[in-house]
Amino acid sequence: MANILAVAGPNSRYQVAGAHPAGFWAGLWHGLIMPITFIVSLFNAGVRFYETNNNGKWYDFGFLIGVSGSFGGPSSQVS
């Protein structure tokens, strides 16, 4: 059964037989929730923060934008 929160990992909806690989929007979502899913993945082996069944560069691009946004983006500065 695929998880309903669309997190990456062995039980993700992208690992179901016949499912399309994760694309840009899934990468963006996984990047945005990465700080939370990283902490959860330390205690739950069924959760990962990066989907291995992805379509390549578009997923990576979305993931990079999402991670950047979750950590404040390029406009965050340390004074």
d(CA 53, CA 59): 10
Arithmetic mean of pLDDT over the chain: 82
pLDDT value for 42: 92
d(CA 6, CA 59): 14
pLDDT value for 7: 73
Tokens standing for residue 31: 């990047």
pTM value? 0.79
pLDDT value for 17: 82
